[in-house]
Amino acid sequence: MTMRFSSCLFVISLGCAGSAAAQRTAGSAVALVQPAPASGTRAAAPASGARVAVPARAAAAALAFKPDSIFINPDVRPQFVGGDGGLRDYLMKNLRYPEKALRQHVTGQVFVRFVLSAAGRITDASVVRGPGGGLNEEALRLVWMMPPWQPAYQRGQAVRVSCTLPITFQE
């Protein structure tokens, strides 16, 4: 008897979530900031809420994100080497349908959440939801074995990013 299986659904949710202020100024050409009082003087209330217009690059530099930030929707999303086709090929080549799941006819989708480092390496992988029967462990094994990805970038800097990878198991 021949059993067929495939892991056919590969949707990746990636992104960036820096500070709210950084996200507000990231897309604008000009940011409005409050003028800083001269050193050694008390801050007086600005006349009628006066604000100073500065280029967004200067405002963004002042609102730089921390290097240990984990993003959800970065400017440039991470990508598996070889793209979606490369990811599909990797999963098909390395997937071993668990014997226990075959015997019990367990199928379904496993959602694995992980963090990609700024170097593109997998860290902090865990199963968010899955049918069990050995499928969760197999999906987690596949994610931990992945080669490095092309990292995500925020404002030209490689950043850490949170990813969720659903893997579908079918007999």
Each residue's pLDDT, cut to its tens digit, for the chain (171 residues) gives 333 333 333 333 333 333 333 333 333 322 333 334 444 444 444 444 444 444 555 445 544 778 789 999 999 999 999 999 999 999 999 999 999 999 999 999 999 999 999 999 999 999 999 999 999 999 999 999 999 999 999 999 999 999 999 999 998
Whether the Cβ atoms of residue 80 and residue 161 lie closer than 8 Å to each other = no
Fold of the 70-169 domain: TolA/TonB C-terminal domain (3.30.2420)
**What pLDDT does residue 57 have?**
55
Residue showing tokens 């170097």:
119
**What pLDDT does residue 136 have?**
97
**Dist. CA 56–CA 53, nearest whole Å:** 9
CA distances from 90 to 31, 72, 103, 138, 155 (A): 44, 24, 25, 14, 30
**What pLDDT does residue 66 have?**
84
**What pLDDT does residue 138 have?**
97
**What pLDDT does residue 13 have?**
35
Q: Select from 12, 162, 36 the least CA-distant residue to 90.
A: 12
Q: Pinpoint the residues of the chain covered by CATH 3.30.2420.10.
A: 70-169
- What amino acid is encoded at 27 in this protein? G
**What pLDDT does residue 72 have?**
94
CA distances from 68 to 17, 40, 115, 151, 160 (A): 12, 34, 11, 14, 7
